[in-house]
Amino acid sequence: MDIGFIGLGNMGFPMARRLIEAKHQLFVFDSRKEVMDRLVALGAKAMSSPRDVADRAETVMASLPSLQASLDVAAGKDGVIEGKRVKRFVDLSTVGSQMAVRIHDILAKRDLVQIDCPVSGGVGGAEKGTLAVMVSGPRADFEAIKPALEVIGKVFFIGEKPGSAQTMKLANNFLSGTAIVATSEAVVMGVKAGLDPSIMIDVINSGSGMNTASRDKFPRSILPRSFDFGFATGLMVKDIRLALDEMKSLGLSMEVAEAVGRLWETVIRENGGDSDFTEAIKPIEKKAGV
């Protein structure tokens, strides 16, 4: 199948590579030429704009770092919306339900389908093809692209309502962001009392406190102090803010989410948006004086 792919970063690159390995013909675009060159070496064709990509493929996927980038790529000047061949825009980015609906409404006026398709599972999951892939949009379009989505992970159809897969993704990432800061506070409490953090993580992982931070982030990135998990603080804070917006738009005020949101605002202020999100432990350590 011919597939367009726009945004070849930490997540997009390995997803695009898996699609090439599964014998799809990829038409790719990224604002960084060097990442396109690496995929061209594997068989992709490099394009010069989202519009060019959408001239070549019925299905155009995107994995982009901000709401504005998704909007620009979908519907901006030289955007996917201008393409001659495109039928559906599949946004693998996390943009929140309001932006997903906004893009859906703009594309619908030109008879283009928007498939909301955020993913979870990190760079490792993108490389291994084990992502959780959450899809909302028209069922017939979902069925048409399902075999391609199965190359990147386990596919879940959330519903036809535009933006509903984004709500699912934000619920997931709120929990992931909570796991890191909550586990960091638990470990820092132990360290302050003189406990060994490695032993603490082993115990937590054999006990009832086990979570994705204790299972993956602490052993791979926080305990070795490598802080190279591959997800930027700026992206985590984007997702936490989107989750809080989503709650507010539903008339909800949620206490854990608000506390977690305040903590992540401290993390981005102190560490910067480009830091790895596993560095969230640093301001917690600093405040505790450990």
Q: Binding ligand NAD by CB under 6 A: which of 1, 10, 98, 189?
A: 10
The full DSSP string for the chain is -EEEEE--STTHHHHHHHHHHTTPEEEEE-SSHHHHHHHHTTT-EE-SSHHHHHHH-SEEEE--SSHHHHHHHHHSTT-GGG-SS--EEEE-S--HHHHHHHHHHHHHTTT-EEEE--EESHHHHHHHT-EEEEEES-HHHHHHHHHHHTTTEEEEEEESSTTHHHHHHHHHHHHHHHHHHHHHHHHHHHHHTT--HHHHHHHHHHSTT--HIIIIIIIIIITTT---SS-BHHHHHHHHHHHHHHHHHTT---HHHHHHHHHHHHHHHHH-TTSBGGGGHHHHHHHHT-
Q: Binding ligand NAD by CB under 6 A: which of 21, 32, 248, 259?
A: 32
Q: Binding ligand NAD by CB under 6 A: which of 12, 79, 83, 129?
A: 12
Site residues (CB under 6 A) for ligand NAD, limited to 94-113: 94
Q: Which residue, 235 or 243, is less far from ligand NAD as judged by CB?
A: 235
Q: Binding ligand NAD by CB under 6 A: which of 30, 52, 141, 276?
A: 30
Q: Is 146 left (phi over 0), alpha (psi -120 to 50) or beta?
A: alpha
How far apart are the C-alpha atoms of 243 and 241, rounded to whole Å?
A: 5
- Of 23-31, 106-114, 207-215, 253-261, the window that binds ligand NAD (rule: CB under 6 A) is 23-31
Closest-by-Cβ residue to ligand NAD is: 9
Helix axes 67-75, 96-108, angle to 10 degrees: 10
- Of 114-122, 142-150, 179-187, 220-228, the window that binds ligand NAD (rule: CB under 6 A) is 114-122
**Which residues does the annotation mark as catalytic?**
169
Nearest C-alpha neighbor of 167 from the set 239, 272, 78, 260: 239
Q: Binding ligand NAD by CB under 6 A: which of 3, 4, 5, 7?
A: 7
Question: Minimum distance between the CB of residue 245 and ligand NAD, rounded to whole angstroms?
Answer: 15
- Of 3-11, 40-48, 158-166, 198-206, the window that binds ligand NAD (rule: CB under 6 A) is 3-11
Q: Is position 266 an interface residue for ligand NAD (rule: CB under 6 A)?
A: no
Contact 104, 114 (CB under 8 A): yes
Q: Which residue, 189 or 227, is less far from ligand NAD as judged by CB?
A: 227
Q: Which residue, 164 or 188, is less far from ligand NAD as judged by CB?
A: 164
The mark string for 159-198 relative to ligand NAD (x by CB under 6 A, - otherwise) is ----------------------------------------
Q: Which residue, 31 or 130, is less far from ligand NAD as judged by CB?
A: 31
Question: Minimum distance between the CB of residue 131 and ligand NAD, rounded to whole angstroms?
Answer: 7
Q: Is position 222 an interface residue for ligand NAD (rule: CB under 6 A)?
A: no
Contacting positions for ligand NAD (CB under 6 A): 6-12, 29-32, 35, 63-65, 69, 72-73, 93-94, 119-120, 122-123, 230-231, 235
